[in-house]
């Protein structure tokens, strides 16, 4: 769909947000061939400036006419904005790469993690979805295991950072923490309860079956990306008072037996994965160590003896980077290849 050019006009929607800023940084860092960068945002941020390649670029207001002459539109402004404006971008001839949840489960929209299912891009209809950050991290670790011994079932509990809710989430954790340390009352705006020094088992809206959208998304998106509807996934997703990087406690049941040693060996070779697993030296993945890293870090790999073929592991990934912005830019790189 994308005409091959030497350089591309790229719009970043939600350019002043947590993922938007990361998108600009990664486009620059990976020397994506950009002819024009067009940062777009809501009225509230119109006129602000963002940095790109050492220059200050003025943020323009997002309208349905924002996409003239745009080749690639990177959306990071939430599902509502994507639902409203992505069709206009496509109509204007741009290819949309959307980091929101808007189109992830739409059957005709490819849901892509480049290391896993780049081929899903073939014949896309103008919109390509980047998965939920918790799913990106998870499938990178699951895919090599699935290819080797077939995964039957996954039980996953997430430890999700406040930056998963954007800058507002980070501000809320910081403000509440300061308030508590000064014996002041806590204000809650982004989350339904205090997040400072607390964990909230509630991410996205609740559905009729008692699961959240986030929890059901982890099951559905995992199956879609791994292209295997037989994989059963049950998730509990929890917000924790951590600024950045998502962690997950993952229990995996496989068809064939696999040892912890073999899992480490397979994952050590897998694209987008780093094995970081030497507990006797206190080496295991941690959120604070994973900020700015491209890979999903995997550790605490153990055989689960409660079933014949079980593995436990703990993984951490930078939710803003590989979980959103980097994955989107990698998709763009595939499109122009």
Tell me how far, at minimum, the Cβ of 307 lies from its own copies, in Å: 7
Out of 234, 265, 309, 336, the only residue in the binding site for its own copies (CB under 8 A) is 234
With respect to its own copies, which residue has the nearer C-beta, 117 or 198? 198
Which of 206, 227, 292, 334 touches its own copies (CB under 8 A)?
206
Site string for its own copies, 104-143 (x = CB under 8 A): ----------------------------------------
Spatial separation of the C-alpha atoms in residues 179 and 182, rounded to whole Å: 5
CB of 83 to its own copies, least distance (A): 24
User: For its own copies, which is the closer residue by CB, 102 or 315?
Assistant: 315
Site string for its own copies, 151-190 (x = CB under 8 A): --xxx-x-x-------------xx--xx--x---------
Residue 152's CB is within 10 A of a number of other CB atoms, namely 16
Torsion of CA 189, 172, 241, 276, to 10 degrees: 120
Q: Which is nearer to its own copies, 136 or 218 (CB)?
A: 218
Rule CB under 8 A: which of 257-286 touch its own copies? 260, 279-280, 282, 284-286
Beta carbon nearer to its own copies, 17 or 161? 161
Q: Which residues between 281 and 310 bind its own copies (CB under 8 A)?
A: 282, 284-288, 299-307, 310
Question: Closer CB to its own copies, residue 21 or residue 239?
Answer: 239
Compute the least distance from the CB of residue 120 to its own copies, in Å: 24
Binding its own copies (rule: CB under 8 A), the pick from 16, 132, 312, 330 is: 312
Identify whether the C-beta of residue 223 lies closer than 8 Å to the C-beta of residue 104: no
Closest CA to 218 of 191, 237, 201, 246: 237
What x-and-dash track marks residues 236-255 binding its own copies by CB under 8 A? x-x-xxxx---x-x-x----
Min separation Cβ 113 and its own copies, Å? 22
Question: x/- contact string, 207-226, with its own copies (CB under 8 A)?
Answer: --xxx-------x-------
State yes or no: residue 202 binds its own copies (CB under 8 A): yes
Chain residues binding its own copies by CB under 8 A are: 153-155, 157, 159, 173-174, 177-178, 181, 192-194, 197-202, 206, 209-211, 219, 232-234, 236, 238, 240-243, 247, 249, 251, 260, 279-280, 282, 284-288, 299-307, 310, 312, 314
């Amino acid at each position: 769909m994308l005409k091959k050019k030497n350089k591309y006009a790229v719009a970043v929607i939600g350019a002043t947000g947590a993922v938007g800023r990361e998108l600009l940084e990664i486009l620059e860092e990976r020397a994506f061939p950009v002819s024009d960068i067009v940062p777009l945002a809501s009225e509230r941020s119109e006129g602000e400036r963002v940095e790109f390649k050492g220059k200050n670029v003025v943020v323009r207001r997002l309208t349905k006419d924002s996409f003239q002459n745009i080749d690639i539109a990177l959306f990071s402004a939430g599902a509502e904005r994507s639902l409203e404006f992505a069709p206009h971008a496509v109509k204007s001839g741009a290819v949309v790469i959307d980091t929101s949840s808007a189109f992830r489960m739409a059957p005709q929209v490819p849901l892509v993690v480049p290391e896993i299912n780049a081929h899903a891009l073939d014949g896309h209809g103008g919109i390509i979805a980047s998965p939920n950050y918790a799913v990106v991290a998870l499938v990178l670790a699951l895919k090599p295991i699935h290819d080797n011994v077939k995964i039957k079932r996954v039980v996953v509990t997430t430890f999700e950072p406040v930056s998963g809710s954007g800058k507002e989430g980070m501000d809320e954790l910081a403000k509440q923490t300061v308030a508590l340390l000064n014996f002041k009352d806590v204000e809650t705006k982004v989350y339904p309860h205090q997040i400072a020094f607390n964990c909230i088992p509630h991410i996205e809206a609740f559905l009729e079956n008692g699961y959240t959208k986030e929890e059901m998304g982890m099951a559905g998106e995992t199956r879609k990306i791994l292209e295997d509807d037989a994989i059963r996934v049950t998730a509990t997703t929890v917000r924790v008072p951590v600024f950045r990087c998502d962690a997950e406690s993952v229990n995996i049941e496989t068809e064939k037996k696999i040892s912890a040693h073999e899992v480490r060996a397979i994952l050590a070779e897998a694209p987008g994965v780093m094995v970081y697993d030497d507990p006797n030296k206190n080496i295991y993945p941690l959120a604070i160590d994973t900020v700015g890293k491209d890979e999903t870090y995997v550790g605490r790999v153990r055989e689960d003896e409660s079933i014949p073929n079980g593995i436990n592991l703990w993984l951490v990934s930078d939710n803003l980077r590989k979980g959103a912005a980097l994955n989107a830019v990698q998709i763009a790189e595939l499109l122009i290849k």
